[in-house]
């Protein structure tokens, strides 16, 4: 049977397309497992510029570039939003707190009814502490004194705002205050202008936005563990660990202040190839990478091989295969069942 001219042209076009596609398939895939494809650039969702997330994101991008991996550092609403951004495919990498990671994976609390499973844990990064600061001359001595006042708690969707709401509900104060969803840099301005009565945000110590505040005015740091212990806060939410801000961390702070902390992790989309995650970690944990990260922010002191699996078992969320490969080679023990 002879093909008509139009049919012949169509057949030739189909064969040509097939050959081109087959040729591209051999060299266009990244070196990782699965269907992950190589990309020219990856994105890392952080938070506002006044906390720890953003500068640490810059450190990761700078170090990863040495391995030929381009990472664009993006501001965002913070931890909770970051996990949703990964799920929607709008970012590749992100910082996220232990609480949001656990809730997102299990569809609980602020993620109730949502299916967020397209991410994996890469590594523990640093311990973040929620700072509650009030003007020293305000007369505010406890959380009960905040009734009827405007409180800065972090932007909507951030781990900071999620924590503040969770804590204030636990001690019966959430309905008695007016939350202001502001990033730390905007909070600092509003706080100094006396538009809000309290500055609240997660960060490793010291936090740049709070240092900016204490450079021009005196503040007191509130201790949330007093009311928290009465309400059984740490028992209900074990990933919010009791810690302290050492005296002298901020100007005018003459004693240790007890606080609640929430570990921060680097997480990645399941669509990011194993090789890319492996190469990022190899760069970060190299001798030069560790030095450069420390030059970026003091939070990098926590980002060591010894700490890499800190709290991972308790969260129960699987590790990215690229992380499993890297840490196994480094003789870091991987929690059972989380290496899939």
In the chain, % helix, strand, coil (3-state, to 5) comes to 45, 20, 40
Total residue count of the chain as it appears in this document: 340
**Radius of gyration of the chain, Cα coordinates, nearest whole angstrom:** 23
pLDDT at residue 291 is higher than 80? yes
Q: How does 79-110 read in b/e, with b if 16+ C-beta sit within 10 Å?
A: bbbbbbbbbeeebbbbbbbbbbbbbbbeeebb
pLDDT at 332 over 90: yes
pTM for the whole structure: 0.78
- 305, pLDDT greater than 60: yes
Task: Please name which of 99, 100, 68 lies closest in space to residue 86, comparing C-alpha atoms.
Answer: 100
Q: Which of 1-15, 114-128, 317-331 has the lowest mean pLDDT?
A: 1-15
The per-residue DSSP string of 233-291 comes to HHHH-TTSEEEEE-TTSSTT--S-EEEEEEEEEEEEETTS-HHHHHHHHHHHTSHHHHH
In this predicted structure, what is the pLDDT of residue 38?
58
Looking at the chain, which runs of residues are DSSP E strands?
Answer: 42-45, 71-74, 93-97, 119-135, 150-152, 178-180, 199-203, 219-221, 241-245, 257-269
Span 53-58, average pLDDT: 96
**Residue 4: alpha-carbon gap to chain centroid:** 61
Whether the pLDDT of residue 87 is over 70: the answer is: yes
Reply yes or no on whether the pLDDT at 21 is more than 70: no
The full DSSP string for 185-201 is HHHHHHHHTTS-SBEEE
Distance CA 211, CA 209 (A): 5
What domains does the chain contain, in order, with CATH numbers? 42-127+263-329 (3.40.190.10), 129-261 (3.40.190.10)
> 152: Cβ–Cβ under 8 A, 6 or more apart, which residues?
180, 182, 186, 187, 190, 191, 196, 198, 199, 200, 201
């Amino acid at each position: 049977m002879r093909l008509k001219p139009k049919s012949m042209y169509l057949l030739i076009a189909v064969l040509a397309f097939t050959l081109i596609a087959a040729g591209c398939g051999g060299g266009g895939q990244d070196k990782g497992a699965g269907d992950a494809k190589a990309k020219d650039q990856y994105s890392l969702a952080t938070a506002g510029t006044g906390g720890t997330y953003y500068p640490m994101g810059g450190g990761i991008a700078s170090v990863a570039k040495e391995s030929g991996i381009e990472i664009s550092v993006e501001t965002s609403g913070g931890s909770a939003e970051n996990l949703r951004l990964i799920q929607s495919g709008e970012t590749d990498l992100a910082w996220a707190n232990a609480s949001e990671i656990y809730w997102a994976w299990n569809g609980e609390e602020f993620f109730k009814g949502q299916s967020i499973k397209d991410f994996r844990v890469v590594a523990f990064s640093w311990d973040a502490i929620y700072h509650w600061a009030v003007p020293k001359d305000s007369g505010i001595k406890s959380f009960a004194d905040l009734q009827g006042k405007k409180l800065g708690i972090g932007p909507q969707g951030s781990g900071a705002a999620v924590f503040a709401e969770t804590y204030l509900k636990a001690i019966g104060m959430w309905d008695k205050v007016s939350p202001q969803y502001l990033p730390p840099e905007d909070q600092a301005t509003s706080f100094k202008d006396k538009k809000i009565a309290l500055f609240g945000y997660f960060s490793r110590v010291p936090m740049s936005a709070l240092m900016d505040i204490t450079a021009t005015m005196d503040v007191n740091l509130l201790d949330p563990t007093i009311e928290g212990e009465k309400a059984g806060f740490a028992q209900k939410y074990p990933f919010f660990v009791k810690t302290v801000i050492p005296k002298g961390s901020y100007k005018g702070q003459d004693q240790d202040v007890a606080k609640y902390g929430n570990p921060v992790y680097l997480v990645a989309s399941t669509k990011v190839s194993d090789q890319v995650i492996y190469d990022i970690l190899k760069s970060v944990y190299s001798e030069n990478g560790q030095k450069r990260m420390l030059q970026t922010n003091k939070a990098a002191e926590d980002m060591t091989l010894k700490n890499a699996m800190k709290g991972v078992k308790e969260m129960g969320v699987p590790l990215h295969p690229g992380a499993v490969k890297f840490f196994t080679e480094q003789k870091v023990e991987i929690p059972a069942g989380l290496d899939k």
